[in-house]
Amino acid sequence: MRGLLCCLLLLPCLSMPALAAHAYAQFGDVKYPPGFAHFDYVNPAAPKGGEISLVPPTRLSNFDKYNPFTLKGSAPPGLAGLVFETLLTGTFDEPTTAYGLLAEDVAVAPDRLSVVFRLHPAARFHNGEPVLAADVKHSFDRLTSKEAAPQFRTIFGEVKGATVLDARTVRFDFKRVNAELPLIVGGLPVFSRHWGMENGKPKPLDQIVTDLPIGSGPYRIAKVNFGKDISYQRDPDYWARDLNVRRGLYNFDRITYKIYKDNTAQLEAFKAGEFDYIQAFIAREWARAYTGRAFERGELIKQELAHGNAGDFQGFQFNLRRDKFKDRRVREAIGLAMDFEWLNRQLFYNAYTRVRGYFVASDFEAKGLPGADELALLEPLRSQLPAALFTQPVPLPPVTRLEPDSGQTLRDHLRRARQLLAEAGWTYRDGALRNARGEPFTIEFLDNSGSMGRVVTPFAKNLEKLGIAVNYKVIDFAILQKRMDVFDFEVVSNRTVGSEAPGTELLERFGSRAADTEGSANIMGVKDPAVDALLDGIISARTRPELVAGVRALDRVLRFGHYVVPHWYGGVHRVAWRAGRFERPDVTPRYYQPEVWITSTWWASEANRKGMK
């Protein structure tokens, strides 16, 4: 959802009247001036044509709808970014700035409690109708209703509403001053009021399932093998093709996503030439499976792409709604049984670094003891926080040494874990770890691909030494997603893409309200008034230093809660593609996800363009 959020230009003096601007930056740092020619990381002369086929970088195993905005079901990959557009568009070189797309300019009110967008007169939906303020309001009203996925009500929770001022002008009013709110509404996906019309009346959003979307983006849905493959065809009459924010972008005539049931079938299909591009997430596969004659002959290229992104957060996440996981000591004890050093050495080819906190490899990661800026935020919450948070360094994952005299060994960690479990009322007797009622401690790990089994197996053996019985269960992704949506699980592995500017989306991940909202990103069920107070301060931050202090304090509080067993992260994107099919710009942006960078800025080679069917 963060990819849909964009920004406006912060006025330097609040006493000045609101002025129209071509962009907005949360903290005032706009890189590109009015009338700029194109973004630095694109080739403005990139030829159009050709095609690219790829697989989604997610666990998606099928799709059953064309509506990405509702809770039930799975939408196809690529749909939201290729077919729908937003009022503003972000860039790959500025994390908190965006520029006019559907809106040709924006104006923030002097009191910062509202923002006005004036729509571009050339903006058109795929059916040829103009994009009007009424469509923007319709989109906002539908997405904030109970018809849409509940996370939208969290994302737009600080927005009072949208008001149509005239045919091409719309105003959003805010509940309070928050420099990120223009980002949030600027990232509103806009769709036609006529999408899902039936007998002259619009259907509720949650009843729009297989109606073809009416968006304004550079692509339309083309050939579909429903549930398996989907192709998007570039719209030759795309309204924004000559705008500076679109120059050099979206160059392929056709983009096709193919979906496979498991990683093995996916990789073998890539080697067999069934599609062009893939991203690898498993170090063992990258080292041992991305090999063979096609790679040796140079027909397939594998490369590790550098980037400046904040690291992705990943870990085994506990469902705190289960009684057995409510005690912080129990969660910490389970984490002590994870021997990351052994896993990295034996399974990952030493390719990874251990995740320490929730904001990996970024300015927002808490370290050591809290500084003065963090203490200013934490002191008012002292009665709600562990005393150790103020006197001890932020918790780090345990490090297991090979030799007993070189530091803590796995045996030391398990001994500490047994002590914590006993303090929490769990003791070993009658062949199992049991509570006062005699109930044994069991854990069910859910997975959709089976790839996590090689991690869970040694982890389970260590947990069994504590008397904890582990059940590792592999289920289809659609079923897993549904169980996560309704919080019907014990432990799952989950990854969150890192952010260079965390903000309102944190309410969705950690806020108490989201913990009770089915389909929210707060799958752990964190409900902590101290966390809520810190979140409130984060989304109200007016400067970058204020944001950094707030997020570091949040990271510290969450880590003292031991809500997850942290996993690992890599500092590069591991990708592979078919040789001779593509060309790319000379400049690699700093902040990007490879799928979006490739589909939006690369272009087809001459042979690819000539050979397209």
pLDDT by residue (tens digit) across 357-368?
999 989 999 999
The per-residue pLDDT for 202 is 86
CA–CA distance, 169 with 116 (Å, rounded to integer)? 7
242 lies in the same domain as 142: yes
Answer whether residue 15 shows pLDDT above 70. Answer: no
Domain shared by 565 and 582, yes or no? no
DSSP state of 16: S
Q: What value does the mean pLDDT of the chain take?
A: 92
What's the confidence (pLDDT) of residue 404?
Answer: 55
Residue 26 CA to residue 66 CA, distance in Å, equals 33
Mean pLDDT of 120-143: 98
Domain for residue 289, yes or no?
A: no
What digits encode the pLDDT tens for the residues 343-357? 999 999 898 999 999
One domain, residues 336 and 195: no
Same domain, 17 and 96: yes
Residue 288: count other Cβ atoms within 10 Å of its Cβ: 10
Q: Which of 507, 487, 481 is nearest to 5 (CA)?
A: 507
Q: Which of 318, 259, 319, 269 is nearest to 478 (CA)?
A: 259
In a domain, 515, yes or no: yes
Is 387 a residue whose pLDDT tops 80?
yes
Q: Which of 299, 294, 379 is nearest to 553 (CA)?
A: 379
Position 9 scores a pLDDT of 28
- pLDDT at residue 123 above 90? yes
Check if the beta carbon of residue 115 is closer than 8 Å to that of residue 21: no
Q: Is the pLDDT of residue 68 over 90?
A: yes
Q: Would you say residue 53 has pLDDT above 70?
A: yes
In a domain, 334, yes or no: yes
- Residues 461, 364, single domain; the answer is yes
Checking if the pLDDT of 19 tops 80, the result is no
pLDDT at 227: 85
Distance in angstroms (rounded) separating the CA atoms of residues 588 and 597: 9
- At 29 the pLDDT is 84
More confident residue, 11 or 491: 491
User: Does 370 reside within a domain?
Assistant: yes
| Residue (of 218, 178, 136, 150) closest to 7 by Cα position | 178
Alpha-carbon gap, residue 507 to 312, rounded angstroms = 18
* pLDDT score of 277 more than 90: yes
| Cβ 235 vs Cβ 219: under 8 Å | yes
pLDDT digits over 185-220, tens only?
999 999 999 999 988 888 999 999 999 999 999 999
Is residue 267 a part of any domain in this protein? Answer: no
For residue 84, what are the domain limits? 2-258+573-611
Residue bearing the bigger pLDDT, 60 or 144:
144
Q: What is the pTM of this model?
A: 0.87
| Confidence (pLDDT) at 4 | 36
Q: Of 212 and 400, which is predicted with more confidence?
A: 212
Pair 472, 414 in one domain:
yes
Q: Enumerate residues 6+ apart whose C-beta is below 8 A from 146.
A: none
Only one residue has tokens 């005539």, namely: 253
Q: Does 433 lie in the same domain as 500?
A: yes
Q: Which two tokens stand for residue 294?
A: 């096609």
Domain holding 336: CATH number? 3.10.105.10
183 and 72, same structural domain? Answer: yes
Give residue 287's pLDDT band: very low, low, confident or very high (50, 70, 90).
very high
Residues 606 and 458 in one domain: no
Q: What is residue 515's predicted lDDT score, i.e. its pLDDT? A: 95
pLDDT at residue number 20: 65
In the chain, the percentage of residues whose pLDDT exceeds 70 is 95
- Tell me if 288 is assigned to some domain: no
Q: Which of 607, 610, 598 is nearest to 53 (CA)?
A: 598
Based on the fold, state whether residues 332 and 216 are members of the same structural domain. no
Cα–Cα distance, 248 to 71 (Å, whole number) = 34
Tokens in use for 338?
Answer: 């994870």
pLDDT at position 406 = 56
Q: What is the mean pLDDT of residues 80-94?
A: 96
For position 8, what pLDDT does the model report? 29
Distance between first and last Cα of the chain: 34
Largest Cα–Cα separation, the chain: 78
CA distance 84 to 190: 7
Asked which of 551, 569, 587 is the last residue of a domain, the reply is 569
- Of the pLDDT bands very low, low, confident and very high (cuts 50, 70, 90), residue 323 is very high
Helical packing angle, 328-336 and 544-561, nearest 10°: 90
Is 295 within the bounds of a domain? no
For residue 69, pLDDT beyond 90: yes
Give the number of residues written for the chain. Answer: 613
| Region at 366 (left for phi over 0; alpha for psi -120 to 50; beta for the rest) | beta
Query: Count of domains in the chain?
Result: 2
- Mean pLDDT score, 74-80: 95
Answer whether residue 11 shows pLDDT above 70. Answer: no
CATH of the domain at 37: 3.40.190.10
Note whether 324 and 458 are same-domain residues: yes
Query: Are 595 and 514 members of one domain?
Result: no
Between CA 143 and CA 188 the distance in angstroms is 9
Output the pLDDT for position 18.
42
pLDDT of residue 402: 67
Q: Is 30 a member of any domain?
A: yes
**DSSP run (H or E) holding 333:** helix 328-336
**Strand locations in 522-608, DSSP E?**
564-566, 568-569, 572-578, 582-583, 603-604
pLDDT higher than 60, residue 1 = no
> Looking at 260-269, 312-321, 544-553, which range is the least confident one?
260-269
Confidence of residue 405 (pLDDT cuts 50, 70, 90): low
284 forms bridges with which residues in the sheet? none
- For 431-471, how does the pLDDT look when each residue is reduced to its tens digit (9 = 90+)? 999 999 999 999 999 998 888 999 999 999 999 999 999 99
Q: Is the pLDDT of residue 340 over 80?
A: yes
